[in-house]
Amino acid sequence: MTTTIQTTSPLTLTGELDPKLSRWLWLVKMFLAIPHFIVLAVLLVALLVTTVIAGFAILFTGRYPRALFDFNVGVLRWSWRVGFYVYAALGTDTYPPFTLGRTDNPAELDVAYPERLSRGLVLVKWLLAAPHILIVGLIVADLLIYPWAGGVGQAVGGYSILNLLVVIAGVFLLVTGRYPRTLFSFLMGINRWVYRVVIYVALMRDEYPPFRLDQGEHELDENAS
């Protein structure tokens, strides 16, 4: 059964679940994706810099420089492809391409370019997004484990709620060879929420993110299993 959700979100985030995922490949994807992690570490720093520059441009002109906008969308697109491949969904065995542009990869992301943006919102978006940042932070931030010995606590490791859900999906794959469709749909909803908040605080759009999970492979679809 497929249910259509009407949404006016400027973000389009899709992820098509591979019909025949490998049972074991997910166990080594973190290692296979190391080259991407290195590149993304540089690109995300660049995104922070371009966001600051864009913020000043919006403050004075009300417009987001198109070249900077396209670059930042490309960085987010790259990040999503890698996340879909490994830590955010495990939705495909197709190795992510090294590109900022659109491809035929199972995971894609796009953001509609705004012709005009509010100058005043530039100064307060981080504050307005605080409720979202709190909720999203609880989902994607590491849950640290503190063993107590002699009254001294020491963090020895941590996984986010998102990571734990992805690992559960991996265990299902390993044991049954199948990815639970309901769990995949839920993970897509979480990721869609996260990226909506990101584009808002990155000053790329003025539409306030909705407090909801739009689940399913495609932005307008919620696929129930």
State residue 3's pLDDT score.
Answer: 39
pTM of the model: 0.85
Tell me how far apart the alpha carbons of residues 61 and 39 are, in angstroms, rounded to a whole number: 32
Residue scoring higher pLDDT (14 or 1): 14
- What share of the chain in percent tops pLDDT 70? 84
Q: How many CB atoms lie within 10 A of CB 84?
A: 28
**Average model confidence (pLDDT) for the chain?**
87
Q: Is 154 exposed, middle or buried (0-12, 13-18, 19+ CB in 10 A)?
A: exposed
Confidence class of residue 143 from pLDDT cuts 50, 70 and 90? low
Confidence class of residue 140 from pLDDT cuts 50, 70 and 90? confident
Tell me how far apart the alpha carbons of residues 166 and 37 are, in angstroms, rounded to a whole number: 18
- Residue 9 pLDDT more than 50? yes
Q: What confidence tens digit (pLDDT) does each residue in 37-92 have?
A: 999 999 999 999 999 999 999 999 999 999 999 999 999 999 999 999 999 999 99
Q: Is 175 exposed, middle or buried (0-12, 13-18, 19+ CB in 10 A)?
A: exposed
Q: What confidence tens digit (pLDDT) does each residue in 24-34 have?
A: 999 999 999 99
The domain tally of the chain equals 1
Confidence class of residue 219 from pLDDT cuts 50, 70 and 90? low
- Residue 153 pLDDT more than 70? no
In this structure, of 94-108, 114-128, 146-160, 203-217, the range with the lowest mean pLDDT score is: 146-160
State residue 121's pLDDT score.
Answer: 95
State residue 6's pLDDT score.
Answer: 46
Pairing of strands 221-223, 2-4: antiparallel
Vertex 133: Cα angle to 132 and 136 (nearest 5): 80
Q: What confidence tens digit (pLDDT) does each residue in 187-215 have?
A: 999 999 999 999 999 999 999 999 888 87
Contact criterion met (CB below 8 Å) for 203 and 58:
yes
Q: Which residues of 55-73 are buried (b: 16+ CB within 10 A; e: fewer)?
A: bebbbeeebbeeebbebbb
State residue 223's pLDDT score.
Answer: 41
State residue 181's pLDDT score.
Answer: 93
Confidence class of residue 5 from pLDDT cuts 50, 70 and 90? very low
The values of phi and psi at residue 148, to 5°, are -100, 130
What range defines the domain where residue 38 resides?
2-223
State residue 213's pLDDT score.
Answer: 84
